[in-house]
Amino acid sequence: MSNLIYDAALSFGTLSAIAAGQFPNVLNLGKPPGSTDHYPGRQQTNADRMTADVCCNEPEGGTGLTVLVQGSMDGSTGWSIVGRKTFTLADMQTGPCQVAISPNNYQYLRVSLEVTGTFSGTAEAFLNTYAGK
């Protein structure tokens, strides 16, 4: 069972149209620049065993959606895929599209979409921290 309540602080943002592209927010899993927080022995946490959940609102029209989760050490370059999954329109209509995040050492995560067809509706993506899947 996954989280049914999402934390706005863990949102990758909203796309006003379900279309190919990147969600606007990049999540920093470590210390913000200039922070005095202390992470014993490391600079960030990791998101393995978690999922990136894309919640689609009233999707219609297209036939498929691929969700890509990417990680980077500096948040601007060197993005690598750490999760990828393809969903049908029926999947999008019945619940969140959940993509497992592979173990990695990246401090920054982002989510992007690839679509098949033209969709109506909106989408919002979250980091789901429930690790008991």
Domains and CATH numbers, the chain: 12-32+44-128 (2.60.120.1110)
Query: What pLDDT is stored for residue 34 in this prediction?
Result: 73
Query: What pLDDT is stored for residue 5 in this prediction?
Result: 76
Distance CA 18, CA 131 (A): 27
DSSP string, the chain: ---SS--GGGEEEEESS--SEE-S--EE-BPPTT-----TT-SB---TT-EEEEEEEEEES-SEEEEEEEEESSSSS--EEEEEEEEEHHHHHHS-EEEEPPP---SEEEEEEEEES--EEEEEEEEE-----
pTM score > 0.85 for this model?
yes
pLDDT per residue rounded down to tens, the chain (133 residues) = 454 678 899 999 999 999 999 999 999 998 777 777 666 666 677 888 899 999 999 999 999 999 999 999 999 999 999 999 999 999 999 989 999 999 998 999 999 999 999 999 999 999 998 866 5
First-to-last C-alpha distance (Å) of the chain: 7
Query: What pLDDT is stored for residue 45 in this prediction?
Result: 78
Query: What pLDDT is stored for residue 22 in this prediction?
Result: 97
Query: What pLDDT is stored for residue 106 in this prediction?
Result: 92
Query: What pLDDT is stored for residue 1 in this prediction?
Result: 45
